[in-house]
Amino acid sequence: MPNQQRMDALKKLAPLDAVQAWLDGDFGMDEEPALCAAIRKESRITLSDDDISDIIFEAMDDDCDAATCLERLAAPR
């Protein structure tokens, strides 16, 4: 079970910082929903948690930086 204080701290991250934390692996097991919540603070991003995860993993495969990954998340679908 994730630590609630840690989850709250991740939710408070700016969207770009949340993407960077994900790319860096700077989160624990089951903390992805908190990162997704932080990423959704970017008003252009309305994706589900699963879609956010998929796009981030694709960006990792493409060796994208956080800013590029955030733009991919915000791109119209």
pLDDT in tens, the chain (77 residues): 568 899 999 999 999 999 999 999 998 889 999 999 999 999 999 999 999 999 999 999 999 999 999 999 999 88
In total, how many domains does the chain have? 1
What's the pLDDT score for residue 1?
Answer: 56
Could you tell me the CA-to-CA distances from 63 to 17, 59, 66, 69 in Å, in that order?
17, 6, 10, 9
What are the tokens at 76?
């119209």
**Global pTM value:** 0.92
Structural domain that includes position 22: 4-74
Place of tokens 């949340």: 18
What's the pLDDT score for residue 17?
Answer: 98
